[in-house]
Structure 1
Amino acid sequence: MTQDLAQIAPNASRAPAVLTRRHKAAIIVRFLMSEGADIPISELPEHLQQALTQAMGQLRLIDQTTLTGVVTEFTEELEAVGLSFPDGLAGALDELDGCLSPETSARLRREAGVRQKGDPWARVAGLENDALLELIGRESTEVAAVAISKLPVDKAATLLSLMPGTEARRIAYAVSQTEKVTPEAVYRIGLALATQIDRSPQRAFEAPPAKRLGEILDVSKSSTREEVLTGIEENDADFAQALRRAILTFSDLPERLKPLDAPTLAREVGDEMMATIIAGTDEGQDRDACDFLLENMSKRLADQLRETAREITPPDTAQTENAMAQAIKTLRRLQNEGEITLLVPGQGVRQN
C-alpha cells in the first residue's frame, strides 16, 4: 500500500512520497499510544528505536482512510502469523532463560558473543565482593570511580573498606571527577564490565575458595581451625589472610553482628543451645560475645536464658563448642536468607 502524502496533507511540510514499512510501523505505534497503550519502546534495540523515531519525524498528518488501511494491513499480517520465534541466538537464549542448564547457556553466550539481558549494572552489583574487587581492579581509576558510583551505597562502602588505603583514596578522589560523565558513557562502561563477566570461564563453585573454606572452618573445632590456618599461612600467606577475613567465629559476634539482630539470632538458635553456650563460657572473648547477645535482647528473655543455664548440667568443652558452631551455622543461614546483614571486621560496614 502506497500513498502520496502530499495529497494527504498538502499544507504540511514535505513528507515522504511513499509510506514505507517503517512509516507504517510508526503510524501503528502512534495510533496505539493515542489509544492509551503502554508501548515498551525502550526494550527495542537502539537502532530500531532510532529508526522508529526518525520515521515518526518524517510524518505529519495522516487521514482516516490511510490510517484505516495501515491498521487493516497490520491486523491481517498478525492474523496470518501462526507461530513466531525470537530474533537470532540472543532472542532464543532469552526465550529459553531458565530452561537451559546454566553451563549450556553460558557456553552458548560465550561462543556467540551474546550478553545476558537486563541492566548490566545490576549484573555487576550482583557479584560477590571478591569477584567485584578483581573485576574493578583490572580497570582504570576512572572506570573504577564510575563503578563505585553506580553500586549500592552499602556495597560500595564495603569494597572501599576492602581495598588498600592508597587505592581506595585514589578511587574516592576520582569519584569527585565524575560529574560530567554522560549516561551513555556509564551504560557503555557497565556493558563492558558485564561482557567481561559473560566471558569468564564457567566455574564449578559460585563462591570463592576463601569463603567456602571459611564457612567450613566456622563450625570446626577451634583447635582444628587454628591448625589449618597455621598450615596454610606457611604455604600461602595471602590466602590465609583472606581466609581469616572470611571466617566467622562465635567470639566475632560483637564486631560482626548488629545489636538489633541479636534477639533474632538468639531466637533462631533456641533456648537450649543458648543456655548451653551461656553455661559453658565463663571468660575470654567467647564470654564477651555471650554477654553481647544477652545485653542486646529484652531483660526478660536474658534473665530467662540465664536461669535456664543455671539449671542445666554444666556442659563440657565439646558440647559448648558444638552449640557455638550451631549458632554460627544459624547466623550464616540468616545471612544467606537476607534476614541478617553482617558487618565487615573493624569497619562497621555491612557485608553481604
Structure 2
Amino acid sequence: MRLGQITNAKPAARPAPRVVTSAEKAAIIVRFLMTEGANVPISELPEDLQAELTQQMGSLRRIDRDTLVQVVEEFADELEQTGLTFPKGVAGALTELDGKISPRAAAQIRRRTGVRASGDPWEQLRAFEPEKLLKLIEDESTEVAAVLISKIDVKKAAEMLGKMPGERARRITYAVSLTNSVTPDAVDRIGRALVSQLENEPERAFDNPPVDRVGAILNSSRSATRDALLDGLNSEDEAFANEVRKAIFTFKHIAARVDARDIAAVLKVVDNDTLVTALASATDELTKPSADFILANISNRLADQMREAIQERGEVGDEDGETAMSDVVAGVRQLADNGEILLREDAEA
C-alpha cells in the first residue's frame, strides 16, 4: 500500500454505545461513583438486590467510554427530573422518622401495619436495663436466654445471671457453650422476636412505676404531711407503703445514703444561702446527723464559715427550713439522676 493511500484513509467509525439493561446500568453507576470516591451505602439495599448488583458488577468486565457517558447522562437526567422522593413503604418511612416520632407511636404503626422493626434488633435490646431483660426472658427457653446473654454487655449479663435463681443461671451458662453453632439468621430472628414482644406490651400512661411516683410526691411534701400519708398507706397496703419508704429520700437520709466524698459535688449545685438555712434548721434528732455529716466532710475553713453563717442566721421558721432542706435534697437527687453520684440503697428509709 502506498503512503498516499494510508494518509488519505478515513478514520474508522466509532462503535455505537452498547445496549445495557437496567440492572447493568445500576452496576455501572455504582462502579462509577465508587471510582470517584463516593461512599455508596449498598448495605442498606435488600439482600437480594445486593446479590444481584454484585453479580452484575462481576459480569460486566469492561464498558466503553461512550456507553459510560450515555448511562451517566441518563442517570443525571433522571436526577434532575426528580423533585422529591419518599421512602419506600411504611418500613422506609419509619426508618426515615426514627428519632423524630415517639417509640410508642412507631410501635403502634408496626402493630397496625405488620411491619417489623428495621436495623439490628440487638442494638435496641442492649439499651434496656437488666431488670427489663430478665422479665423479657422469664418464660423463654434456656437456649433463647443464652443467646441474649451472649449478645449483650458483659457486665449487664453478669448482673442478670446474679439475679436469677441458681439452677436457671447454671443452665443458661451451660447453654452459652452450645451457641457456637447458632447461625446469624437464627440470632437475628431471636432478636426480632424479643423486640416484637416488647412492642406488643400494653401501652401505659406513665413511664415510671407507682412507687416512684408516690415517692417523688412525698419527697416534696412537708414532713407532717409525709408521715400522715405514709401511716395511711401502711393501713391500706403495708407492702406498698414499705416500697414507698424505700423510694423516699429526704434530708435525714443524707448521712446514711450519700458518700462523704460526694458532699463537695452537692455544695456545687446548692445555693450557699439555701444550704446555711437548711443546716440552721436541722436541729432535731432526725435531721441533725445529716447537718453534722455535711459539715464534717468539707474543709475546716469552709465548715467554720458555715457555722458562723448559721449563728448569724439565727432561728429558722419551720416552713423556710423545710423549703431549704427540700432544695438541698433536690440538688442531691439531680446529681444522682445525672449519674454524677451514687446513692446507697441499703439504708432504711
TM-score when scaled to structure 1? 0.72
The answer to whether the 8 Å contact 2:143/2:172 transfers is no
The alignment status of 1:204 with 2:205, answered yes or no, reads yes
1:326 and 1:261 map into 2 onto residues whose CA distance is 17
Residue number in structure 1 paired with 2:8 = none
TM-score when scaled to structure 2? 0.73
1:230–1:84 Cα change, 3 Å: same
2:67 and 2:248 map into 1 onto residues whose CA distance is 71
The alignment status of 1:330 with 2:326, answered yes or no, reads no
| Structure with greater Cα Rg | 2
1:44–1:262 Cα change, 3 Å: farther
Q: 254-263 or 70-79, which moves further after superposition?
A: 254-263
Question: Aligned-pair distance for 1:33?
Answer: 1.7
Q: 1:151-204, CA deviations, whole angstroms, 9 ceiling, x for partnerless residues? A: 55676676667x466489558846964873666555444333332233233322
SS state of the match for residue 109, structure 1? helix
1:134 and 1:47 map into 2 onto residues whose CA distance is 36
- What aligned pairs does 1:1-352 form with structure 2 within 5 A after superposition? 20-96=21-97, 105-116=106-117, 119-127=120-128, 131-147=132-148, 150-151=151-152, 163=163, 166=166, 169-170=169-170, 173=173, 177=177, 180=180, 185-233=186-234, 235-236=236-237, 239-254=240-255, 256-282=257-283, 286-315=287-316, 318-336=319-337, 338=338, 340-343=340-343, 345-346=345-346
Residue number in structure 1 paired with 2:16 = none
The answer to whether the 8 Å contact 1:257/1:342 transfers is yes
Amino acid at match of 1:279: A
Q: 205-214 or 232-241, which moves further after superposition?
A: 232-241
The answer to whether the 8 Å contact 2:130/2:157 transfers is no
1:167 and 1:276 map into 2 onto residues whose CA distance is 54
Amino acid at match of 2:194: L
- Aligned pairs, how many? 328
The percentage of counterpart residues that share the same residue type is 46
Question: Aligned-pair distance for 1:105?
Answer: 4.5
SS state of the match for residue 274, structure 2? helix
Q: Unpaired segments of 5 or more residues in structure 1?
A: 1-17, 348-352
The answer to whether the 8 Å contact 2:252/2:289 transfers is yes
Amino acid at match of 2:43: S
CA RMSD in angstroms comes to: 4.0
The answer to whether the 8 Å contact 1:121/1:150 transfers is yes
1:159 and 1:245 map into 2 onto residues whose CA distance is 22
Q: Unpaired segments of 5 or more residues in structure 2?
A: 1-18
1:98–1:149 Cα change, 3 Å: closer
Question: Aligned-pair distance for 1:128?
Answer: 6.3
